[in-house]
């Protein structure tokens, strides 16, 4: 039996108290957690706006998203995509932090 893979994307707004160092720390910890749970994706930040795409086993990604929604560092979390996928688009990316334009360009070319 194969494990259902999903892609979940959301946008949110960072609270003013979140610093660049906080984000760097979060990305470093997320990279380890996500690797341990077979989750890949990308985190794009433009000033205080966040767009994150997560891919991996449905139970792992959905559990992570529950945790993200409870994270006090951001608010106005809006899920923009949640679907089953045949293959992961960000498998070679790990959990990368990119500029928002990188995400837009990736979406337009794939």
What integer pLDDT is reported at residue 1 of this predicted model? 39
Residue 94 predicted with pLDDT over 50: yes
> Which alpha helices (DSSP H) does 1-110 contain, by range?
20-36, 58-69, 100-109
Structural domains of the chain sorted by starting position, each given as residue range(s) with its CATH number in brackets: 5-109 (3.30.70.100)
pLDDT digits (tens, 9 = 90+) for 15-65: 999 998 998 898 888 888 988 999 988 888 888 898 888 999 999 999 999
What integer pLDDT is reported at residue 79 of this predicted model? 96
Q: Strands (DSSP E) along 15-94, which ranges?
A: 40-46, 49-57, 74-85
Confidence of residue 110 (pLDDT cuts 50, 70, 90): low
């Amino acid at each position: 039996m194969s494990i259902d893979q999903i892609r979940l994307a959301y946008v949110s707004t960072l609270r003013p108290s979140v610093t660049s160092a906080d984000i760097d720390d979060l990305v470093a910890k997320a990279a380890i957690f996500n690797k341990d749970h077979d989750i890949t994706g990308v985190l794009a930040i433009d000033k205080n706006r966040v767009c994150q795409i997560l891919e991996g086993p449905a139970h792992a990604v959905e559990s992570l998203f529950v945790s993200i929604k409870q994270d006090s560092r951001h608010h106005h979390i809006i899920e923009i995509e949640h679907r089953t996928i045949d293959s992961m688009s960000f498998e070679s990316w790990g959990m990368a932090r990119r500029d928002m334009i990188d995400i837009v360009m990736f979406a337009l070319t794939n």
